[in-house]
Amino acid sequence: MPGTLLDEKGDMMFWLEGDSSRSVNGLLRLDGESKADWIIRDTLGFFLTRAYDGQIGYGLAGHGLAISTPTPDCPGCKKILGPEKGMKLLNVITAVKDRFGRWWMGRPSAGLACYDPVLDTVFSYLRTDQKLDYGVMSSQMDSRGNLWFGTTHGLCFYPTTKDIDYASFRPREAFIPIGLEEMGPSQVNMLKILDEETLLAGNQQGIALIDLKSFYETGQARVYFFQEKDGYSGPGTEQNCVWVDRKGQVWIGSDAGAHRFNPKYFIRSDRPPAFEVDSLTFGNRAYLMPSVAGKRIRIKQSRYGANLAVFLTPQHDPVRPAHLFFSYKLSSDSTFSTPSKNRLIEFPNLAPGAYTLQVRAHKDGLVSEIREVRFRIPRSFWETPWPWLISAILLAAGYWFLQVNRNRQKMEKNKLQVQAIVNQLNPHFINNALQWVQIRVYKDQEAVSVISKLGENIRLVFKNSREKKAFHSLKEEMLLVENYLFIQKKRFGNQLEYQLPDASKLERFGQVQVPLMQVQIHCENAVEHGIRNKEDMGMVRIGLEGDADYLHITVEDDGIGRRRAGEIGSKGTQQGTKMLENLRDIFNKRNILPITYEYEDDIFLDSKGEGHGTRVHIRIPKSYRYEFD
């Protein structure tokens, strides 16, 4: 248990806590022969420690820290560092005295405190922000007089100085994190100085040996972390439960019992980690590393949105091979990434250009030489015929605009409003067409099928334009939708799947009249703002039902959702949606049963419990008046 200590006579001191029926709380001393002697009575405690000068610190429950202040007249006298001295921790879980006579006290849930004997004052630094501020669970002073703290954010080093500006002191700024690669940022429950060059630390995942000599010589700590896979049988460590026996063996306490660890049997390796960059892939193509150092790999064009992946192969190392980490930096980055055990490095949607990737390996505080991978992603779009096709579409759109503008002057007020919206819907469609044509040139069969679908949609939209109609049949609308999703499937590949209503339902309701592009624009929003921003495959489903009065259409996607799209700025101009709303408002004024829209947000939950996805309900009356008399 952590609340034990051998005094200078070899007697055992330990904290005792009674149950609800007996009040036996306090600190006892036993010599193994005579009756137990109460040192502190009717007070609970958590911790005992002896400083380098023999002074004893008593971690109390609700009263702060007591420190021994023996005199010839009062050998058992103690001084209480409580609220009257400025102490705000109250429960002290760990304490250590630094080389300048200051006592540092910690409590993981509350923070850190420091007692300055010259000022006879305790300065408390409480955790006001649980994510940023440090709580302290364990503490030690090494042979060089510097402090080590086991905090709620991992192991930290603090180089002590004689003078401290207590008003501006901030633990999270003064402490230096150590061993985050191996131990991580979890709470360090136990610290123990084993000898002048070795510090033992433990958290809930295992224990670690920190080589203090290498740390002070190079500034880089050699951290050897031990878990079950390394032969350490303990499930973790508990509050300051560690002892060293006379044979140098370390005994560690946990909920599962006591665990013995002998550092003498540990084999250390000074061999730096080594690895090779095996290959890289872009889209569905693989590239082996060139035999000539510094030669740049030229990557061929791949499908839209292809990912770059780099594969690493470590060289054989029989000593602790499971503790190999990798970090990397692309030429556009300022610092290396956080080390990870992942041997696959991925970069999604890299822009065309020349890149240099630097990779290095880490193991037990040693760092390998940097390996470089140089590659180039080409620009290909402007070398294709597609810019000419886009220009032709723009010219056709311009001519069409002139014709529409001449006819608009002959319509009454409501027809002018409706036609204005139709005139906006068509260029909205043209803008989409400009995106649709961005498909791989070298796959002729796919290009033919895409252009065929695109031609169908253009003919259908221009047909409605010539007839000055803002509506058409559901069958024609679903043809627009099917062609649009077909083209987007070619664009995104396996990132997009879609599901249309079955043929029987379309046959049943196909002649119902609906506003122009009523379903297509909602499908566009689902793809562009929901699925496109999703990391994995997305699905768009079109549902179709009907009752006596209404046709009920649903457009559902499992993308990132409207809220997340708004946060990352993927909302677009929303012109298409606004035009549909304007059409609906004009037509609803002339009908008893209205057209309605309804959105459902966050219809799915991911593995973390976060909502995503959107479902749009479109209800259109089967009997609806679109014509103006």
Q: Over the stretch 490-549, which tens digit does the pLDDT of each residue have?
A: 888 889 999 999 999 999 999 999 998 889 999 999 999 999 888 889 999 999 999 999
Q: What pLDDT does residue 504 have? A: 92
Residue 614 and residue 530 in contact, taking contact as beta carbons nearer than 8 Å: yes
Report the range out of 272-276, 278-282, 293-297, 569-573 with the highest average pLDDT.
Answer: 272-276
In terms of Cβ atoms closer than 10 Å to its own Cβ (0-12, 13-18, 19+), residue 11 is: middle
d(CA 517, CA 459): 14
CATH homologous superfamily of 1-178 equals: YVTN repeat-like/Quinoprotein amine dehydrogenase (2.130.10.10)
Tell me the pLDDT tens digit for each residue of 1-35: 456 777 777 788 888 776 655 667 888 888 777 77
Average pLDDT of the chain to the nearest whole number: 84
- Selection from 158, 188, 193 nearest residue 50 by Cα: 193
Fold of 381-621: Heat Shock Protein 90 (3.30.565)
Q: Is the pLDDT of residue 485 over 80?
A: yes
Q: What pLDDT does residue 424 have? A: 45
Q: What pLDDT does residue 172 have? A: 93
CATH homologous superfamily of 275-377 equals: Immunoglobulins (2.60.40.10)
Residue 411 and residue 419 in contact, taking contact as beta carbons nearer than 8 Å: yes
Distance of CA 514 to the CA centre of its chain: 44
Name the packing angle between helices 413-436 and 474-492 (round to 10°): 30
Q: What pLDDT does residue 231 have? A: 74
Question: Tokens 């248990």 belong to which residue?
Answer: 1
Q: What pLDDT does residue 266 have? A: 80
Tell me the pLDDT tens digit for each residue of 42-101: 888 888 899 999 899 999 888 999 998 877 677 778 899 999 999 999 899 999 999 999
Q: Is the pLDDT of residue 428 over 70?
A: no
Tell me the pLDDT tens digit for each residue of 436-460: 555 444 455 676 677 777 777 777 7
Count the neighbouring beta carbons within 10 Å of the beta carbon of residue 627: 9
H-type helices in 162-317, by residue range? Answer: 171-174, 180-183, 212-218
In terms of Cβ atoms closer than 10 Å to its own Cβ (0-12, 13-18, 19+), residue 403 is: exposed
Supply angle C-alpha 80, 86, 87, rounded to 5. 60
Q: Is the pLDDT of residue 292 over 80?
A: no
Question: Tokens 């630390």 belong to which residue?
Answer: 201
The whole-number average pLDDT for the span 311-340 is 86
The whole-number average pLDDT for the span 263-272 is 81
Q: Is 580 helix (H, G, I), strand (E, B) or coil?
A: helix
Residue 47 and residue 95 in contact, taking contact as beta carbons nearer than 8 Å: yes
Q: What pLDDT does residue 433 have? A: 52
Residue partners of 291: CB distance under 8 A and separation at least 6: none
Q: Which residue has the higher pLDDT, 322 or 175?
A: 175
d(CA 226, CA 379): 49
